[in-house]
């Protein structure tokens, strides 16, 4: 990221700064966790745990090099359901902290994730309609000849936009807008609880990248790496949009187009059978 932004970046701890993440981890774990006096202690500590756990259990149905922990016939629905549960960690974090910045960040994130979840679901259903299955392993097997990215390119592009919004990444990082909300929904979290949020956020990025690769790129590891690089590339280059632009873009542009394309795909499939 520092290379993309033409800056030095962390370069002191270890060779070329390779040990900087470990130094940051040790620092955060050893710090004292500070909790606001008027906060709801139980929910305040539960929220980061929910965010991390939902990001981890989502991997159960993702096929990695032909190996999958839970090979279910409804594994795609499982992935969508688990991604939807992550919003509870964000909402509880903002509400329990008794902080205006945290509440505003959590409300933004909730509205954002619910809105773009519709685009995400439309793209997933389009893939399921073509594959004739909700099993992610079968969807990967279907793409041995040609990736679904080719026939579903417009839907894949909208899916790519929606995963940026789902994970609160630039240019849709409004819930964490430091110029407005300090750090958004986890403004009051520090030390180990912050580590949970941090790990959950990046685990979610890896998870959603792997899911996108499964749906549109045949589940290849290279595809997952390219998508993760895309997250970093976008963050280093694009400015943050306004919140009204974010919401209007979902409800007036992406959702109508996604639902329209989904209707066309479902209508055409019987004609090609």
* pLDDT digit string, tens, across residues 22-54: 888 888 888 877 777 787 888 888 888 888 899
Number of domains into which the chain is organized: 1
The pLDDT of 151-155, averaged and rounded, is: 91
User: What whole-number distance in Å separates Cα of residue 227 and Cα of residue 221?
Assistant: 10
Q: Report yes or no on 269 lying in a domain.
A: no
Nearest residue to 213 via CA among 203, 226, 201, 202: 226
Instruction: Judge whether 5 lies within some domain.
Output: no
Q: What is the pLDDT of residue 273?
A: 58
- Residue range 227-254, pLDDT digits in tens: 999 998 988 888 888 888 888 888 999 9
DSSP state of 68: -
User: Would you say residue 182 has pLDDT above 80?
Assistant: no
* 3 state DSSP class of 5: coil
pLDDT at 270 over 80: no
Q: Is residue 243 included in any domain, yes or no?
A: yes
What's the whole-number average pLDDT of the chain? Answer: 85
For residue 268, tell me if it sits in a domain: no
What's the pLDDT score for residue 12?
83
What percent of the chain has pLDDT above 70? 96
Mean pLDDT over 199-207 rounds to 89
Mean pLDDT across 192-218: 89
Confidence (pLDDT) at 2: 81
- Please count the CA atoms within 13 angstroms of the CA of 183 that sit on its side-chain side: 11
Whole-model pTM: value is: 0.88
Q: Is 135 part of any domain?
A: yes
Burial class (CB in 10 A: 0-12, 13-18, 19+), 98: middle
Query: Which of the pair, 104 or 261, is modelled with greater confidence?
Result: 261
The per-residue pLDDT for 178 is: 67
Instruction: Name the band, by pLDDT with cuts 50, 70 and 90, for residue 158.
Output: very high
Does 4 reside within a domain?
no
Is 13 a member of any domain?
no
Q: What is the rounded average pLDDT of the residues 87-105?
A: 82
Give residue 214's domain range.
Answer: 32-260
The more confident residue out of 215 and 238 is: 215
- What pLDDT does 190 receive? 76
pLDDT of residue 211: 93
255 pLDDT tier (thresholds 50, 70, 90): very high
Residue 193 domain-assigned (yes or no): yes
Q: What token pair was written down for 195?
A: 């580590």
């Amino acid at each position: 990221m520092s290379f993309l932004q033409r800056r030095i970046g962390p370069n002191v701890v270890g060779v070329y700064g390779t040990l900087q993440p470990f130094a940051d981890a040790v620092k955060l774990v050893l710090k004292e966790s500070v909790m606001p006096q008027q906060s709801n202690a139980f929910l305040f500590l539960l929220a980061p745990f929910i965010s991390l756990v939902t990001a981890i259990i989502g991997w159960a149905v993702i096929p990695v090099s032909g190996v999958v922990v839970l090979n279910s016939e409804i594994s795609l629905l499982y992935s969508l359901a688990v991604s939807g549960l992550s919003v509870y960690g964000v909402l509880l974090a903002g509400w329990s902290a008794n902080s205006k910045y945290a509440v505003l960040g959590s409300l933004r994130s909730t509205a954002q994730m619910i809105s773009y979840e519709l685009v995400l679901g439309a793209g997933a259903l389009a893939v399921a309609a073509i594959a004739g299955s909700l099993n992610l392993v079968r969807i990967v097997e279907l793409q041995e000849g040609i990736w679904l990215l080719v026939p579903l390119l417009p839907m894949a592009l909208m899916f790519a936009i929606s995963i940026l919004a789902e994970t609160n990444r630039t240019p849709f990082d409004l819930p964490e807008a430091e110029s407005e909300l300090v750090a958004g929904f986890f403004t009051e979290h520090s030390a180990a609880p912050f580590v949970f949020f941090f790990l959950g956020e990046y685990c979610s990025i890896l998870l959603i990248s792997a899911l996108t690769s499964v749906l549109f790129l045949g589940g290849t590891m290279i595809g997952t790496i390219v998508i993760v690089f895309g997250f970093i590339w976008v963050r280093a280059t694009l400015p943050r949009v306004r919140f009204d632009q974010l919401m209007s873009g979902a409800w007036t542009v992406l959702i109508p187009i996604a639902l329209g394309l989904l209707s066309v795909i479902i209508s055409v499939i019987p004609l090609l059978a």
